[in-house]
A and B are shown apart, each in its own frame.
Chain A
């Protein structure tokens, strides 16, 4: 199906305008928590190096922290936009308008990506003060950032469609997103985990995302970035198809 650029870009504009109107809570508030992580970790581990990586701890965790803000904000944008639209009843605007299902998926997804990438970028800018700002493969970093933000935007769409109340969205973030992110190697090298735990971590999709972005930043990673790219890419594709299908069947929005 052809994509109508005006129809599709209006949805992206709507999504971006929506979070810009409440930028204090959507863009600046997330920066505070990430800023605190940076301050605390850079102070607590100022003379520590990460085993096997041979780099300062702060340089190690910066890519992870950027990923974390990217993940949380992409997810928060689409999930809150959709549950809000359901709550306000304006979800019917998207059903009455001539959107194709792909346009709906892309429109919401890109809206969430813009917020994730924006907060991620600002997080990076703040982190320059703490570690110097060196990025080994900047284009690769951008590539992975775009891919990861798309994945969590799509996740947010699923959560937003599934949720019947605002509380339901926090179930998603508290029981899935946060544990998977914290256990993905944002703060430690998964290779260094004892015994079975380093194997278990391989089942965590977020691990590949953090690891790939870390490779882009410091040039070293726990596993090959090519494998990560394949896994992340297929993950994004599967989610996109799933989300488009959910829009097509009108999952929880059409009766």
Chain B
């Protein structure tokens, strides 16, 4: 079996608001999958439907081949969902919370796994204290630990790094990458596009309840024909203008550095023109498009369609 999650013709509306509009999506087993979209795009609704928090209006969803409605016991055991909102049970310590949660998933003695998670998420020294005394970042890590106590095959992280400091974010990603290497399927929603760009194999971009694009990260980025050229010269540049170059450019104050944004096809002409001027080049940098550019392009496209 190679499909972790199969979503077919899934719809959900809240009154007039179409939160999910005919969603079709396949997520492969072992994939690091990104679900991106602006606020209100429907990412959390989709995850809610997957986990049984939200009732879909129509369509079907299977998790590892099992239907999420008729086989919810098994699908819920295969899923570890880290919700976006920080929640905690004020009555119980970190360890108690994880013990109780293991029990919910039918695991009687889970102390080994609990210790491993506490260690991996740097919560070992907080194990015996109540969640009220935890900082925001620690509460978030407790949420992650809760979602992983039953060793799920598919891990869904809904905005997991919101409000988590940089150092912690890195150790968190290290842990998640490791889980992915062990064969776990990871689904990530995030606002930090650099995170998605660094981590995900494939990405779905959602906008206004629709999936506007699903592709590999490389294909998505290549779909934008944009290069950013930065050239630093030894001396001030004279004689370079728009007519000569055939394209607009930015020159910095000292006139020693230019920035040109252009399509791939123009690279040759630009470089030859500069070469003809006999300028001394100190440094040169050509950047490709970023996921952010794709994101902006696709989500604006969604706006135009409506």
Binding site for B on A (CB under 8 A): 4, 6-7, 9-11, 13-14, 17-18, 21-22, 85, 88-90, 92-100, 250, 254-255
Q: Which residues of A lie under 8 Å from residue B90 when comparing CB positions?
A: 88
Q: What are the residues of chain B within 8 A of A18 when measuring CB–CB? A: 91-92
CB distance from B25 to the nearest CB of A (A): 20
Q: Is the CB of A98 within 8 A of B76?
A: yes
**Interface residue total, chain B, C-beta cutoff 8 A:** 34
B42 an interface residue at 8 Å Cβ cutoff? no
Report 8 cross-chain contacts, Cβ distance below 8 Å, ordered by A residue: A6-B106, A6-B108, A7-B103, A17-B96, A18-B92, A88-B89, A90-B88, A99-B104
Q: Are B72 and A98 in contact (CB under 8 A)?
A: yes
Q: Which residue of chain B has its CB nearest to the CB of A2?
A: B73
B103 touches A13 (CB 8 A): yes
Q: A92-B87, A254-B52 are known; give 16 further A-B pairs, CB within 8 A.
A: A6-B103, A9-B103, A10-B100, A17-B92, A90-B88, A90-B89, A92-B51, A93-B87, A93-B104, A96-B52, A96-B76, A97-B76, A97-B101, A97-B104, A255-B14, A255-B53
Closest residue of chain A to B52 (Cβ to Cβ) is A95
B103 touches A90 (CB 8 A): no
List chain A residues, Cβ under 8 A from B103: 6-7, 9-11, 13-14
| B175 close to A (CB within 8 Å) | no
B34 within 8 A of A: no
B130 to chain A, nearest CB (A): 10
Question: Which of these binds chain A: B77-85, B164-172, B198-206, B220-228?
Answer: B77-85
A9 nearest CB neighbor, chain B only: B103
Chain B residues with CB under 8 Å of A22's CB are 91
B173 in the interface (beta carbon within 8 A): no
Q: Is B279 an interface residue (CB 8 A)?
A: no
Set of chain B residues within 8 Å of A11, measured between Cβ atoms: 103-104
Given contacts A14-B100, A98-B73, contact A93 B146 (CB under 8 A): yes
Chain A min CB distance to B15 (Å):
11
- B192 contacts the other chain (CB 8 A): no
CB of B113 within 8 Å of the partner chain: no
Whether B92 lies near A97 (C-beta < 8 A) is no
Task: Determine whether the beta carbon of A96 is less than 8 Å from that of B91.
Answer: no
Residues of B contacting A88 in the complex (Cβ-Cβ under 8 angstroms): 87-90
Contact pattern, B 94-105, Cβ under 8 Å of A = 1, otherwise 0: 001000111111
B136 adjacent to chain A (CB < 8 Å): no
**CB <8 Å contact, B106 and A4:** yes
Q: Which 10 A-B pairs have the closest CB atoms?
A: A10-B103, A89-B87, A97-B104, A98-B76, A98-B73, A6-B106, A90-B89, A7-B106, A18-B91, A14-B100
In the assembled complex, B302 has its CB within 8 A of some CB on chain A: no
Chain B residue contacts of A9, Cβ below 8 A = 103
Q: Is B55 an interface residue (CB 8 A)?
A: yes
Chain A residues near B52 (CB-CB < 8 A): 95-96, 254
Q: Are B89 and A93 in contact (CB under 8 A)?
A: yes
B107 at the interface (CB under 8 A from A): yes
A95 to B68, CA, bound (A): 13
B48 in the interface, Cβ–Cβ < 8 Å?
yes
Say yes or no for B54: interface residue by CB 8 A criterion: yes
Q: Which residue of B lies closest to A254 (CB)?
A: B55
Given known A-B contacts A10-B103, A13-B103, A95-B53, A21 and B76 have beta carbons under 8 A apart: no
Distance of A46 from chain B, by nearest CB (Å) = 43
A246 CB → nearest B CB, Å: 14
The residue that A255 contacts in the complex, of B54, B74, B88, B146, with Cβ under 8 A, is: B54
Q: Are A10 and B87 in contact (CB under 8 A)?
A: no
Residues of B within 8 A of A95 (CB): 51-53
Q: Is the CB of B55 within 8 A of A10?
A: no
- Across-interface contacts of B87 in A (CB, < 8 A): 88-90, 92-93
Select from chain A the residue with minimum beta-carbon distance to B100: A14
B48 surroundings in chain A (CB, below 8 A): 255
Complex formed: what's the CA distance from A92 to B107 in Å? Answer: 19
A90 CB contacts on chain B under 8 angstroms:
87-89
Give the complex CA separation of A255 and B83 in angstroms: 15
